[in-house]
Structure 1
Amino acid sequence: MMRTSFQRFAAGFAAVFVCMVLPAHGAPILNGGFESGFSHWTRADMVGGDGGFLIQSGTASPVNGIPVPPPPEGVNAAMTDAQGPGSHVLYQDFVAAEQVSLATLSFDLFIGNRAVDFFLPAPASLEFATPELNQQARVDILLAGGDPFSVGGDLLLNAFQTQAGDPLVSGYLHVEVDITSLINANLGASLRLRFAEVDNVNIFNFGVDNVAIETIGPIEVPEPAPILLVLAGVAAATLQRRRALRLSGSATPGRPRGA
């Protein structure tokens, strides 16, 4: 019985210890709910276009006052709006400093396309000033430092993109994407999380909120031997004390033990 109880206790202690070295934490996106406006974010609009990403609150789009759902987190969201065609990006650069066991990119998106469909030119482009129809929204991770409108070799991951035939108005949609392998393959590199919207057909409200990257650090299972040795020592000392007490209790009063 004593050995069985000890083994169960040791196994439970080790399991708790392992869980303690695997904390989940958010990293490294800042102000993902836009409650501080566009702090930590960068906006870029292609020259010659109209509108851009603006802070949206309430239930109306920032420029045209089109009915939209309220921000799903807090009181602010980022949303594109314009009275003419344009190309708009919103991005934040970050660095992954250490290897992870799990990394998840998540965000909430509102899609409010007032055209008859989504249109993606070939080859891929975020250019609005072109004879081709270009009416789309997308979310990407790129190597930082290049053209914010790039869809070339610095593009590492397309996490979301509207497609022809998708519902024209939907959201807020919650999206989660596993980016573990991407993070571990680009340790120390400056990466860019980008939200992009382009429209040259009709108005497009692209809402963004609740942006986060959640990570779990590397699994570091400690050597079980030191833990078990400490527990074994405690158990042995307890057993020895109990034996001493039993011997003391069974001795004849007034007569030395062993006489």
Structure 2
Amino acid sequence: MTSPHMLAVLLLIASSAAAALAAATPLLQNGGFEAGFTGWTVVDRPGSAGTWFAHAGTATPLSSIATVGAHGGSTYAVTDQFNPGTHALLQGFGVAPGAASVTLDFSMFVNSYGAFAPHNGELDHTTPRAQFGRVDLLSAGADPFDTGAGVLRNFYFGIDDPSTNPHPYTDYTFDITPLVAAGGNYQLRFAAVETDFFLHLGVDDVSIDAVFAVPEPDSLALLGLGLGGLVAVRRRA
């Protein structure tokens, strides 16, 4: 009869193999902005005032208006401006075919000191009124300010409750598997447009993690070893 100690070892092997099969693969880099904008692209529409900042502290870098600061670590990304502007923050990523699940997570606040002005969702501060933040999954070739055919899915469009400025972070999680499981290249975009008064979009702890349906051969062998051992133990008991 196999000893309880050996049974514990076999259980550990099996559980370790199962964990290996379910391990998530990160698809984004520097999601906490601790390395500034490494891996990200900042684009400001021509004529914009202000931009994105990789920032530490609880006051915005230009206007010195209070925020809640970083969600994790010491740095977060935030927009700031003194006059109208449109700002996009993007990172491209690739997904190999066969992903069993792909999950987007981020934490964000949108502090607006002007009223929500949707303007059909267009990212253009030269229009009469546009005041909002938005988050989108874009096709690989989409323009940084595309709000049409290049948008594969919109995750956020609006502003947070102005009565709680500075607004706390809201944590967001989205299953994007149906959009990307076939594989390909995509872009994640955070964007803000401001024409009325200050708007500060802050984002931190951004991640896209994929779990793949086809495990590596080594993981399969390890799982088989653990499960086989457990079967043997049961037969001998």
**CA–CA distance in structure 2, aligned partners of residues 46 and 136 of structure 1:** 15
Tell me the CA shift for residue 233 of structure 1: 7.3
Q: CA RMSD in A?
A: 3.1
**CA–CA distance in structure 1, aligned partners of residues 70 and 16 of structure 2:** 40
Share of identical aligned residues, percent?
A: 32
User: Counterpart amino acid of 1:167?
Assistant: D
Tell me the CA shift for residue 214 of structure 1: 2.1
Structure 2 residue aligned with 1:137: 133
User: Counterpart amino acid of 1:121?
Assistant: H
Structure 1 residue aligned with 2:173: 176
Give the counterpart of 2:205 among 193, 204, 210. 210
Residue deviations 1:115-155, cap 9 Å, x none? 1x211113x31011012x21000111101223100011111
SS of 2:137's equivalent? strand
**CA–CA distance in structure 2, aligned partners of residues 121 and 20 of structure 1:** 47
Residue deviations 1:167-189, cap 9 Å, x none? 0232211111111111213x0x2
SS of 1:171's equivalent? coil
TM-score (norm 1): 0.76
Structure 2 residue aligned with 1:162: 158
SS of 1:181's equivalent? helix
Structure 1's unaligned 5+ residue stretches are 240-259
SS of 1:33's equivalent? coil
Structure 2 residue aligned with 1:99: 98
Would the aligned equivalents of 2:106 and 2:207 in 1 still touch at CA under 8 Å?
Answer: yes
Q: Larger Cα Rg: Structure 1 or Structure 2?
A: 1
Would the aligned equivalents of 2:102 and 2:181 in 1 still touch at CA under 8 Å?
Answer: no
Would the aligned equivalents of 1:126 and 1:198 in 2 still touch at CA under 8 Å?
Answer: yes
Q: Does 1:78 align with 2:77?
A: yes
Structure 2's unaligned 5+ residue stretches are none
Tell me the CA shift for residue 206 of structure 1: 0.7
Tell me the CA shift for residue 106 of structure 1: 0.7
User: Counterpart amino acid of 2:208?
Assistant: I
**CA–CA distance in structure 2, aligned partners of residues 40 and 94 of structure 1:** 10
Task: Give the aligned length.
Answer: 225
Shift in alpha-carbon separation, 1:225–1:61, aligned structure 2, 3 A: closer
Would the aligned equivalents of 1:111 and 1:171 in 2 still touch at CA under 8 Å?
Answer: no
Alignment of 1:248-259 (within 5 A): none
Would the aligned equivalents of 1:26 and 1:212 in 2 still touch at CA under 8 Å?
Answer: no
